Amino acid sequence: AQKVTQAQTEISVVEKEDVTLDCVYETRDTTYYLFWYKQPPSGELVFLIRRNSFDEQNEISGRYSWNFQKSTSSFNFTITASQVVDSAVYFCALSPPSGGSYIPTFGRGTSLIVHP
């Protein structure tokens, strides 16, 4: 069975602070995919990143960076110099390999509040 844990229910920071959102997962699959989604106050869910379990390179996209560590089953998301527009609920998700029943498992989300 798959499981995704986002232990931080809510994080509150002041603008320009760096913030890391934690994601820990459990799976028996050797191949899997990890995702991060953003849900701003407007409510839509927006895809941010996909990571293949074979690729442990960290990724940076502007102020966003992701740290994938297979040894600790973690896929953490860092926002550098946070901005008010980063305020949202962030979901981490885990998917098994393609084929069969492709059913992603979502964490419960971390609500990030960035104060001006």
Partner 1 sequence: NAGVTQTPKFRVLKTGQSMTLLCAQDMNHEYMYWYRQDPGMGLRLIHYSVGEGTTAKGEVPDGYNVSRLKKQNFLLGLESAAPSQTSVYFCASSYSGPTGSLPQHFGDGTRLSIL
| Residues binding partner 1 (CB under 8 A) | 9, 33, 35, 37, 43-45, 47, 50, 52, 91, 95-99, 101-104, 106-109
For the bound state, the minimum distance from the C-beta of residue 101 to partner 1, rounded and expressed in Å, comes to 7
Structure-block tokens of residue 4: 């995704």
For the bound state, the minimum distance from the C-beta of residue 16 to partner 1, rounded and expressed in Å, comes to 29
| One-letter identity of residue 74 | S
The HSE-up count of residue 26 (CA atoms within 13 Å, CB side) is 5
If the CB atoms of residues 68 and 91 are measured against partner 1, the closer one turns out to be 91
If the CB atoms of residues 18 and 26 are measured against partner 1, the closer one turns out to be 26
If the CB atoms of residues 100 and 116 are measured against partner 1, the closer one turns out to be 100
* Cα separation, 75 vs 51, whole angstroms: 9
For the bound state, the minimum distance from the C-beta of residue 45 to partner 1, rounded and expressed in Å, comes to 4
56 close to 69: Cβ distance less than 8 angstroms? yes
25 close to 34: Cβ distance less than 8 angstroms? yes
